[in-house]
Structure 1
């Protein structure tokens, strides 16, 4: 370990140790990140060098000043040195300190920085872009600052411009800042730099080539391709670095949320990824997703700048307002405590479903041995979209939902990109089958029910809307299934909806940990009607609820059949 002139190393080490030892308040994921750092310092496969990290910290603190803001005591900050906090130095030391042993190749190629609003995120993005450009100038540094909206990436760009002008170096660079381009170009003698602010446009592919990119506000990205197209632009460089930095959002089916879950697995050690740096600052949640949001300890856990740019009394006041005004609560949880919430229109709390599902562990084989009568449901696509099937049964008051989906492979790539549906991930996990036809192949859905019956599931009835598929009705009937027409009337579907809802809330719903089913549940928007009935639909046209819909059809069959007083034991023995 090279410790020469490492004046910030003590700050970084104390930051990490104080969190691991519990002397400094931090959330679960931040404790894991600090443990990872201290553990990796001892790994022989890495050299730890301080030179580049010290260079970047020095550049930022010596050349950048604040353009706006006030200290906690009200002192104006404009023109005051932009001094980095220990957590920011910790991030920089991680990104630039680890090298593959005996080489000049840095360990980290990608980073995920997850911090709440008002923790200086945008200013940090700008300062990092400037300093990293100077650090990698000999490689002809090309830095992109991207965001879903150009307005957001321009905020960081304008902060860099403010400091260049303050330094009196405006004439040393070619600066374009107009409706067409927002860029800074400079020749440095021993190298060059280029910094550009961009909107994350997946259609701009061919012209992109960079070694470092900072993707801001990842939660607003509507397509994975907005991120991936920038990442792909780095392939010509060895010491490339893709930094995603964001606050929580309200779409749990989004690219950002899925990336958050992956990064949590990295910290847990269940998804090893040695090239990915993860810094997650958020409040701690219980197993049902709840957080004590009025507790100052949780405020401090979530906000690394607590007591610096985050005023304790202000965030406590916001928490009390969120407690008294439910309309404010989701925004407070997402933006101040970094807790992902369901969309405002979403009916279900997905944490209730997940908590219930975690209580049960049956495998498919184990379920076939239980004395359960199963009821099927099918939601058939009209042409080339998601088709879903489900089985519903109950055992000792526990509702079990088994689902599967199909999608025509010729349309899968386009839909996965356009609508942000993780179809290929579902395929890898076994929740979905890609059909080799341009439109939905209803025979494959029938075959799934046949295979489930052959493996031991006693399927008594299948409910589906007959007008969408005469072929499915014919083939399923020929296969020996009893088909019940389930028209799409909300007053019929309400009973299935309510039963699934009640089972989830009471911890008695099990859906075999299907992420595809969770995705659909999160996209359900419910409208309360008279007599406790509910009418539901998709929260957004680009979302899908088909697997949930199929489970509702199956549940309706269960309710209506068992309410008629038919004997379960008689049917299991082969009678009607």
Structure 2
């Protein structure tokens, strides 16, 4: 009996050993596979025969353009084999969800078309009436995946009378049927009326970076809750909306791969460049363009990417190229106050106890957030460390506010990043804000230097602060370029120079992404593009920084040499 080739484990081994260059995330994914192969406590095992069955099926599919059988690259075998090879003792797929991301023109649409056809023709759970969904944010994008799938099945139908006899295509409704068990592939777009009521056993969301909310994802997932063997695959290049649901998934897979969270049912394949500098070195491009593994298309792919890099370098810059050609997340607006990647790299933990602290208050009463930020001084390293907390008004209803802002305040309250008002009127409860400040100061034994506030809506707070007998200096931060421009500029420079650190805080991150720099007569002010966008936490931070930046650091003691 010939030896069975384990394509999945071979690819994982080659990546981990460095024989195939891969992104840091995919190295961790491959290491996870190898570790799990020897994990006796895991409730799943890897079935090589199941993995090879889907791989062999995909390699029999014809390329719609040439008509020749597709030869899969190693990474494609790894993805397909992992999705179907890892199973429970009952034979159900381990991975009920997958995140697949790579640069454009790397065969992702062809791969999902093949997986959809495999599920239509070879699937067995449920036995009858399997519904395979090809979904996207727009009808046009969903149509692209469907047309690729249709082209493949039409090529098969020409060559196989058996497949032709059991399949049927309905162009008008974007459906492909398996007539023997009444299963079908259906293309759907991000419209509630188009999705609700369907129970997709196997669903794919294509180009998820374009989604503005999680409606499509949640509707598809909700329809799978009663199924034994569901799968939902998110597949996309990176994008520019750092507040969108795809980027939220990107942050979550980071947690999983770094072992800060555990989810045994989530498969991850994320091909990306690890640094911007790698964009100039073609020998690293396989990290984000895994199709470069195939020698017969390597030269063409590199030549085309090189042309785009040169054009970007000479004219518009590498921003769009980093996103599409190298699968790196970048902010959409060139007007952004802070580059979010600069901000994110400064996320760290810091012992705030006993620190000298400046407090910033950005107040609201009804619609915006009220935010309180603390700038703690690290006098040893002469750095600033930011913590923050927000308070959420609910006038007009919390649910509608969540939907309008695209922010799940209830979840963020559970995670400790915000407090939802307890007043029936829905306005901010000043006592909740001041109670939080008092508790935070006391618990951490903070040496408060000043409370810096925006005079808007402060009147109720000032009276309550005086009633509490606080002895902290209260400093009004006047709104305008004369007061704020220089601190705004300096704060940005110190973030770039890694002198301003901050704790993890989802709402503060959102504010940084939303903050736009408005330049007028050499002065810089912060604003937002849309009313619903929240920048209050970063504004509270800036108010504190106006005064914190004037702090005179203790001079470091220099030990003089002893002269004999």
In the superposition, the TM-score normalised over structure 2's length comes to: 0.87
Instruction: Quote the offset at 1:395 in angstroms.
Output: 3.9
Structure 1 residues 206 and 558, CA, compared in 2 at 3 Å: closer, same or farther? same
Contact 2:209 2:246 in 1 (8 A): yes
- Residue matched to 1:185: 177
CA gap of 1:540–1:80, structure 2 versus 1, over 3 A, is farther
Q: Provide the residue aligned with 2:88 in structure 1.
A: 100
Structure 1 residue 422, shift from structure 2 partner: 4.6
Give 2:305's aligned residue: 315
CA contact (8 A) 2:138 2:190 kept: yes
| Residue 478 of structure 1: aligned partner | 467
Corresponding residue for residue 389 of structure 2:
404
Q: Is 2:261 the partner of 1:271?
A: yes
Name which of 132, 144, 149 aligns with 2:138.
Answer: 149
Q: Is the deviation greater in 24-33 or in 88-97?
A: 24-33
**Farther off after superposition, 438-447 or 471-480:** 471-480
User: 1:131 corresponds to which residue?
Assistant: 118
Structure 2 vs 1, CA of residues 53 and 540 (structure 1 numbering), >3 Å: closer, same or farther? farther
Classify 1:65/1:387 alpha carbon distance in 2 versus 1 (closer, same or farther; 3 Å). Answer: same
State the distance in 1 between where 2:284 and 2:532 align: 35
Identify which of 37, 40, 44 aligns with 1:41: 37
Question: Does residue 115 of structure 1 match 2:113?
Answer: no
- The equivalent of 2:429 in structure 1 is 441
> Is 1:291 paired with 2:260?
no
1:42-441 to 2 correspondences below 5 Å: 42-44=38-40, 45-67=43-65, 78-101=66-89, 103-137=90-124, 138-166=127-155, 167-168=157-158, 173-178=167-172, 181-188=173-180, 191-202=181-192, 206-285=196-275, 290-306=276-292, 307=295, 308=297, 311-325=301-315, 327-344=316-333, 345-358=335-348, 361-364=349-352, 366=353, 369-370=354-355, 372=356, 374-396=357-379, 397-408=382-393, 411-437=397-423, 438-441=426-429
CA deviation string 1:379-416 (max 9, x = no partner):
22341332211123534331232211011468444433
Number of equivalent positions: 533
**Counterpart pick for 1:496 among 487, 499, 511:** 487
Q: What is the SS of the residue equivalent to 1:353?
A: helix
Partner-residue secondary structure (3-state), 2:187: strand
SS at match of 2:152: helix
Kept in 2, the 8 Å contact 1:384–1:440? The answer is: no
TM-score for both structures, normalised by structure 1? 0.85
Q: CA RMSD in A?
A: 2.8
Q: Distance in 2 between matches of 1:204 and 1:157?
A: 16
Shift of 1:98: 1.4
Residue 482 (structure 1) shift: 4.7
Task: Tell me how far apart the structure 2 counterparts of residues 6 and 333 of structure 1 sit (CA, whole Å).
Answer: 42
1:274 match: secondary structure: coil
| Unaligned runs of at least 5 residues, structure 2 | 555-564
Once the 2 structures are TM-superposed, how far is the Cα of residue 105 of structure 1 from its aligned partner? 2.0
| Contact 1:378–1:550 (CA under 8 A) maintained in structure 2 | yes
Q: Residues 108-134 of structure 1: CA distance to partner in whole angstroms, max 9, x if unpaired? A: 111111111110111222121111122
Q: Distance in 1 between matches of 2:3 and 2:267?
A: 21
Kindly tell me: are residues 109 and 477 of structure 1, through their superposed partners in 2, closer, same or farther at Cα, counting changes over 3 Å? same
Contact persistence 1:380–1:387 (CA under 8 A): yes
Q: Which is further off, 331-340 or 439-448?
A: 439-448
CA distance in 1, matches of 2:376, 2:462: 22
Shift of 1:520: 1.4
**The 10-residue stretch of structure 1 (224-233 or 374-383) with the greater mean CA deviation from structure 2:** 374-383
In structure 1, stretches of 5+ residues that fail to align are: 68-77, 568-576
CA distance in 1, matches of 2:194, 2:400: 17
- How many angstroms apart in 2 are the aligned matches of 1:210 and 1:379? 46
- Residue 247 of structure 1 and its aligned partner are, at CA, apart by 0.7
Q: Distance in 2 between matches of 1:5 and 1:242?
A: 35
